[in-house]
Amino acid sequence: MVVIRPIQKEDNAIIASIIRAALEEFGANKPGTVYFDESTDFLFELFQKQQHCAYFIAEEDGLILGGAGYFHSDGLNDHTCELVKMYLSKSARGKGLGQKMINHCIQEAKKEGFDQMYLETMPELKKAIQVYELFGFDYLKGPMGNTGHDGCGVWMLKKI
Domains annotated for the chain, with CATH where assigned, are 2-159 (3.40.630.30)
- Evaluate whether 127 touches 97 at the Cβ level (below 8 Å): no
pLDDT score recorded for residue 33: 85
Q: What mean pLDDT comes out for the span 112-121?
A: 96
The pair phi, psi for residue 96, each rounded to 5°, is 90, 0
pTM (2 decimals)?
0.93
pLDDT score recorded for residue 152: 84
30-123-71 Cα angle (round to 5): 75
Distance of CA 110 to the CA centre of its chain: 16
- Evaluate whether 14 touches 82 at the Cβ level (below 8 Å): no
Helix axes 126-134, 97-111, angle to 10 degrees: 50
